[in-house]
Amino acid sequence: MLTLDLARRSLRNRLLPSILTVLSIAFSVALLVGIENIRNGLRASFTGTISGTDLIVGPQAGSIQLLLYSVFGMGSPTGNISAEAYEHFQNHPAVAWTIPYALGDSHRGYRVIGTTEDFYEHFRYRGGTPLALAQGDRARDAMDVVLGSEVAERLEYAPGDQIVVTHGMGAAGIMDHDDTPFEVVGILERTGTPVDRALYMTLEGIDAMHEGWEGGVPPAPPSFAPGGEGAAEDDYYAAPPTPPVETDEHERDHGHEHQHGETQTPAGAQDPSLHAHDHDHGGTQITSFFLGTTSRFEMLSLQREINEYRDEPLMAIAPGIALAEMWRSVGYAEDGLKIVSFFVVIVGLLGMLVSLYTALDARRREMAIFRALGAGPRRIIGLLVVESGFLALMGAVIGVALVYGSIFFFQGTVEARFGLLIPIRPLGSLEWLYLGSVVAAGFVLGLIPAAKAYRNTLTDGLSPRS
Amino acid sequence: MTNAEGSEFAPDGALTPAVELRQLRFGYRPGTPVLQVDSLVVPAGESVFLHGPSGSGKTTLLGIIAGVLKADRGEALVLGNDLTRLGGSDRDHLRGERLGYIFQMFNLIPYLSAFDNITLPCRMNSRRMKRLDGSLDVETRALARTLEIESLLGARPGELSVGQQQRVAAARALLGRPDLVVADEPTSALDADRREAFLGLLFESCREAGATLLFVSHDRSLESRFDRALSLPDVNRAPVAA
Ligand SMILES: Nc1ncnc2c1ncn2[C@@H]1O[C@H](COP(=O)(O)OP(=O)(O)O)[C@@H](O)[C@H]1O
Ligand SMILES: [Mg+2]
């Protein structure tokens, strides 16, 4: 076909500008599609922090707070769950499995989590992926500790190393449990979730460590200033034994012994900094637990049952819903990316318009020649539209290929470096919309100079105007 | 509509002038007429020299005769067809089939060889192709020989001198034996010697093709070689814009 042949020769004649135009379109497409993929990856990795768990149970407080300390390892537990309450729900007919979490200790800034083997058995993340051990074995004995991959990597620990656990969450220990060194028995595979940033031991280990500790301090008179700087934010254990000089009410909340039940202020009304409750070291106390139901249909009624549990104020949240809610509330990061995407689209389209338009406008003289030779509007439009449409289409295809190629080749590197898995996914509606408008703009843009060429006379750029 | 030769346009009888304008009015913008020509005739088979100063509307007039512009009023009979009554696409077809157009300069498509430039009108218009006696290749070479550009057929326009480019443009205008060749100051970019040589070749090829030649220029020194000379300011009553 003559039009295609002419368009092909014309493009080849202006190879470099054509390539530059295609590349500028390709990069703007790649930028948008890339941002969309990162946005998607962020959301997927956030909402995939935990999966397979139907309910997370903790003392009554804010649901975000429960999610933060139990799933993300941020902030302090709001209190304890008694062994009786835990056992009650562990043996509940609607409950298939539970994973207890006892939080409050740390090792060089990383959280120590007391749990059971149920953790290794039932914990799932990112679409149901189970935990796996990269090295060694699960923590079974009281002195065993298993490390998250980041902990092991950063602190350069290997199975067999002895470590000391700190009371509270200071980087430099406020109180080290010097007397009870633990032994690294295993290291978890990388998950890209907060699981990587914690140490795992048995509930017995937690108890053994706190043996004899009452009121949050070692049995011997302490040689440290209570309530020191490092303990301020995460003073779960490191609560000052001396009551702070404040109101009576605060004094009571800062009480040294955690009292179950009615003394606990209800959710929302509680000052989040006042978590100076301690373990009741008489039994195995936990701060929260995860559970899976025997049947999904049981979930709602079980959640209600936990929330209305009489013996102790508890709350249960569905992590999937809570995570989605939380993502929406911290979604300004995503909104930011959306705004960036929007400007990328605008700038990309404008850049494309400019480069296509200048390329086409330079050819008005050529179009005047075609007209003089008897070319009708269909031929003129055909020539220009085929060219600019082809450039836009190539740009779009190369841009998308660039992104998916990069994801394919660098997925592993990005996951290892940033803990962000960018899944290969089909294009979303925003991307299709953008690709559609890029290609459509390419075709429509050819029409403008074509119309101009057709309206204009043979004088067009051919002879200097007198 | 279609006659024996396969053209839907009126045949050019011996008595029909190649171009006849009557009461023609044209302006690019309303209120500023560029052309007001009551009568202008180019007899078939003749070579006509149309002169006028720059800005007098010569190119505009050729645009109307070629059917690129449409007159506001009056009649523009070209090869027996009133262009003011033809639609845009019919005018394009008439031009493609039976007209040859030579610009002042920059006549050629830069990314096509001289050969491809010359054959472009025939390839774009099948009726023009049918007017060839022999094959496209043979006819093109014969015409190129007459215009002394046979050895340049494979060259790109960028590799040709202005004089060579104008001869390629002339070959393109003449291939397919057009009934009317319209030339808009084709020699203005050439020096005196080249100008004479080009004119000689153009006349010869037009005679061979049996084409009427309407040649426009502001340079009256060429006038004597034509069958007939016309002054546009004499026939155009529109005031010349500064
Ligand atoms: N495309 C155009 N749009 C508006 N005015 C034009 C255009 N082309 C030519 N003109 C005007 O029409 C007049 C005649 O121009 P033109 O036909 O090019 O004269 P010539 O070819 O004799 O130099 C001039 O005043 C010129 O400025
Ligand atoms: Mg002119």
| Closest residue to A466, CB basis, from B55, B63, B184 | B55
- Asked whether A79 and A160 are in contact (CB, 8 A), the reply is no
Closest CA to A23 of A395, A435, A348: A395
How many distinct structural domains can be found in chain A? 2
Q: What is the DSSP letter of B69?
A: S
Report pTM: 0.69
More confident site: B223 or A272: B223
Same domain, A306 and A367: no
Closest protein CA for atom 5 of ligand 1:
B28
Q: Report residue A268's pLDDT band, with 50, 70 and 90 as the boundaries.
A: very low
Searching chain B, which residue's CA lies closest to the CA of residue A8? B111
Instruction: Report how far apart, in Å, the C-alpha atoms of A367 and of each of A361, B142, B176, B231 are.
Output: 10, 28, 21, 30
Question: Residue A81, exposed/middle/buried by CB under 10 A (0-12, 13-18, 19+)?
Answer: buried
* Residue B160 φ/ψ, nearest 5 degrees: -105, 155
Closest CA to A252 of A229, A274, A226: A274
Work out the angle between the directed axes of helices B192-209 and B136-146 (0-180°, nearest 10).
140
Same domain, A296 and A394: no
- Sequence-distant (≥ 6) Cβ neighbours of residue A409 within 8 angstroms: none
Task: Give the span between the Cα atoms of A323 and A327, in whole angstroms.
Answer: 6
Task: Give the span between the Cα atoms of B209 and B150, in whole angstroms.
Answer: 18
pLDDT of B204: 87
Searching chain B, which residue's CA lies closest to the CA of residue A12? B111
Measured from the alpha carbon of residue B26, the closest ligand is 1
What the block records as the tokens of B68 is 């690129």
- Asked whether A117 and A97 are in contact (CB, 8 A), the reply is no
More confident site: B13 or A51: A51
Closest Cα in chain A, distance from residue B43 (Å): 22
Question: Residue A244, exposed/middle/buried by CB under 10 A (0-12, 13-18, 19+)?
Answer: middle
pLDDT higher than threshold 80 for residue A177: no
Domain ranges of chain B: 45-69+92-235
Going by CATH, does the domain composed of B45-69+92-235 fall within 3.40.50.300? yes
Q: What would the mean pLDDT of A228-255 be, rounded to a whole number?
A: 39
In a domain, A312, yes or no: yes
Q: What would the mean pLDDT of A345-368 be, rounded to a whole number?
A: 77
Searching chain A, which residue's CA lies closest to the CA of residue B175? A373
Task: Give the span between the Cα atoms of A145 and A138, in whole angstroms.
Answer: 8
Q: What is the DSSP letter of A189?
A: P
Work out the angle between the directed axes of helices B136-146 and B114-124 (0-180°, nearest 10).
130
Q: What is the DSSP letter of A195?
A: G
Same domain, A266 and A385: no
Element (H, E) at B234: helix B232-235
pLDDT higher than threshold 70 for residue A363: yes
Which ranges in A68-202 belong to alpha helices (H)?
83-90, 118-122, 149-155
Task: Give the span between the Cα atoms of A66 and A54, in whole angstroms.
Answer: 14
SS3 content of chain B, % helix, strand, coil (to 5): 40, 20, 40
| Closest residue to A457, CB basis, from B68, B96, B120 | B68
* Residue B87 φ/ψ, nearest 5 degrees: -75, 170
Closest CA to A178 of A127, A152, A213, A139: A213
The ipTM estimated for the assembled molecules is 0.86
For A363, the domain range is 2-46+330-462
In a domain, A214, yes or no: yes
Burial pattern B43-64, b for ≥16 Cβ within 10 A else e, equals ebbebbbbbbeeebbbbbbbbb
Measured from the alpha carbon of residue B35, the closest ligand is 1
Measured from the alpha carbon of residue A463, the closest ligand is 2
In a domain, A322, yes or no: no
Same domain, A344 and A373: yes
Same domain, A120 and A247: yes
CA dihedral defined by B145, B151, B154, B156, rounded to 10 degrees?
-100
Q: Cα of A129 to ligand 2 centre, how many Å?
A: 78
pLDDT of A462: 46
Low-confidence spans in chain B with pLDDT less than 50: 1-5
User: Are the beta carbons of B110 and A379 separated by less than 8 Å?
Assistant: no
* Residue A349 φ/ψ, nearest 5 degrees: -65, -40
Closest Cα in chain A, distance from residue B121 (Å): 6
Question: Residue A250, exposed/middle/buried by CB under 10 A (0-12, 13-18, 19+)?
Answer: middle
More confident site: A243 or A88: A88
Residues with CB under 5 A from ligand 2 (ion): A 463; B 59
Q: Report residue A402's pLDDT band, with 50, 70 and 90 as the boundaries.
A: very high
Quickly tell me which residue has 């925003």 as its tokens.
Answer: A430
Closest CA to A81 of A288, A258, A235: A288
Count of residues making up chain A:
466
pLDDT digits (tens, 9 = 90+) for A192-219: 888 998 999 998 888 877 765 544 455 4
Q: Which chain A residues have a beta carbon less than 8 Å from that of B174?
A: none
Interface size A-B, in CB pairs within 8 Å, comes to 84
Same domain, A41 and A184: no
| Closest atom, ligand 1, to C-alpha of B218 | 22
* Residue B226 φ/ψ, nearest 5 degrees: -95, 155
Same domain, A199 and A252: yes
Same domain, A310 and A347: no
pLDDT higher than threshold 70 for residue A170: no
pLDDT higher than threshold 70 for residue A224: no
Task: Give the span between the Cα atoms of A147 and A157, in whole angstroms.
Answer: 8
| DSSP-derived 3-state class of residue B21 | strand
Q: Report residue A109's pLDDT band, with 50, 70 and 90 as the boundaries.
A: confident
Q: Which chain A residues have a beta carbon less than 8 Å from that of B62?
A: 458
pLDDT digits (tens, 9 = 90+) for A5-29: 988 898 888 888 889 888 888 988 8
pLDDT digits (tens, 9 = 90+) for A283-337: 567 899 999 999 888 888 999 999 998 888 999 999 888 888 878 777 777 788 7
Closest protein CA for atom 6 of ligand 1:
B28
Same domain, A346 and A276: no
pLDDT digits (tens, 9 = 90+) for B204-214: 888 888 899 99
